[in-house]
Structure 1
Amino acid sequence: MTASCISELPKMLKNQNHQSRFVRITVCGARGSGKTSLIEQLVYGIPPVRKKAQPTIEDIYACFVETERGVREKQVFIHDTQGIDSSNYDIPRTLMPHTDAFILVYAVNDVESYNIMEQLKKDIDKNLSKKDVHFLIIGTKLDLKQRRVEAAVALNWAAREKVRLIEVSSLDRRSLVEPLQYIMNKVIQTQSKSTFGRPKLGARSNTIANIND
């Protein structure tokens, strides 16, 4: 944990010269899909507790991740969005221009959360103005026995959408690191090809940590 860096985050986020030095990821999913537990296990190493989910309003996590390219301390800002239900599929439109990658989350034991994830993908595609945004789909709660979403169905959908889908258990932190490294590498490849400036982004961060697998 390197909390001393927290005061520098707003300045870094607003500085155009630093835009390629970090990755901005937005995590979306249905209420109770396990997205916050996934993030907190990844960032803090805190395993999820099986209890009634506390609704997320919005939160930002900051961490450093070593990528497969050997780039140490690549900074990542993870935006945890409010959980979505079937009556409202919208995510904040203001996030879209500033996001390098979306992680869409559903629970393998909840068909509705899977349907919401599919609709989220459609909604983002429809309203996205940037072409160089990457997607990763994560099915959570793989450790539970009450599977309701068949893996073959989800994988076939992902193949049609040309996105990567992976099923994980938030109890296993090591299983979460590889997907994050994957999506980071996709973004880094895009950033390395681009010679243009990034849009400005101002945000508040509540935590910063190091992630090692």
Structure 2
Amino acid sequence: MSLAVKERNQVRLVFLGAAGVGKTSLIRRFLLDTFESKYKRTVDELHRKEYDLGSMKVTIEIMDTSGSYSFPAMRKLSIQSSDAFALVYAVDDAESFEVVRSLREEILDIKEDKYTPIVVIGNKADNLSDRQVSSEEIMSLVELEWNSRHLESSAKDNANVLEVFQELLRQANLPSRLSPALRRRRETFPTESHARPPMNKTNSCRIS
């Protein structure tokens, strides 16, 4: 006797990485198609967006996390409650990839599942002159040894941003027909956003 399989209609994605690698820029580019060149310190912020696919509605939650990681208990909770992970580093900052290594180990330890959906993202790919991280070496490590997907992106140039989210949702096993809906993702603003009070940052720098 066959059992009907209920399609999944909600997923939570979490973006993790060192401060200043462009996590917020990627999310902002995806949701609003905008780019802010000045760096502002991020506090944990949850965006929720609903897509109507006709026969069903799908809710996507995107958690944007702080790069300071001053609250390990809160980070652990974010990992426990999330379905797929974007680990973001900057191609012009080799140390930021070491943070990705550490975060991956933490995720696998908390989830207790070596097949946890993870996409490793090398952001700021437009900054070719200051590149410190080899695309070929990282791709080999991530895809062959870690068995995860690697993509390079530029929030500044809007390069591979949509592909990042498509890959995250694919790994989270959302319906494949969601992809066309993503192309209409900017028709509405995210329906909800929950954030702690913002923290001021006096220094600023360009991020992409």
Q: Counterpart of 2:76?
A: 93
For the 8 Å contact 2:126–2:157, the answer to whether it is kept is no
- Given the alignment, which residue of 96, 99, 114 partners 1:113? 96
The two structures have a TM-score, normalised by structure 1, of 0.70
CA distance in 1 between partners of 2:64 and 2:141 (Å): 24
CA distance in 1 between partners of 2:71 and 2:22 (Å): 18
- Given the alignment, which residue of 134, 156, 180 partners 1:150? 134
- Indicate yes or no: 2:148 matched with 1:163: yes
Q: Counterpart of 1:205?
A: 192
Structure 1 residue 126: Cα displacement: 1.6
CA distance in 2 between partners of 1:122 and 1:90 (Å): 16
Supply the RMSD in Å over aligned alpha carbons: 3.2
CA distance in 1 between partners of 2:71 and 2:101 (Å): 13
For the 8 Å contact 1:100–1:132, the answer to whether it is kept is no
- Indicate yes or no: 2:60 matched with 1:60: no
Question: Of Structure 1 and Structure 2, which has the larger fraction of its residues in helix?
Answer: 1
The two structures have a TM-score, normalised by structure 2, of 0.71
Provide the secondary structure at the position in 2 that maps to 1:38: helix
Residue identity opposite 2:85 in structure 1: F
- Given the alignment, which residue of 100, 111, 118 partners 1:128? 111
CA distance in 2 between partners of 1:20 and 1:42 (Å): 22
Residue identity opposite 1:124 in structure 2: I
Aligned residues: 172
Structure 1 residue 22: Cα displacement: 1.4
Residue identity opposite 1:160 in structure 2: E
Q: Counterpart of 2:171?
A: 186
CA distance in 2 between partners of 1:138 and 1:180 (Å): 11
Residue identity opposite 2:156 in structure 1: L
CA distance in 2 between partners of 1:146 and 1:63 (Å): 35
Provide the secondary structure at the position in 2 that maps to 1:109: coil
Structure 1 residue 88: Cα displacement: 8.9
Q: Counterpart of 1:30?
A: 18
Q: For structure 2, list consecutive stretches of 5 or more residues without a partner in the other structure.
A: 1-5, 176-190, 195-208
Q: For structure 1, list consecutive stretches of 5 or more residues without a partner in the other structure.
A: 1-17, 191-203, 208-213
> Using a 3 Å threshold, how does the CA distance of structure 1 residues 81 and 103 change in structure 2: closer, same or farther?
same
> Using a 3 Å threshold, how does the CA distance of structure 1 residues 163 and 90 change in structure 2: closer, same or farther?
farther
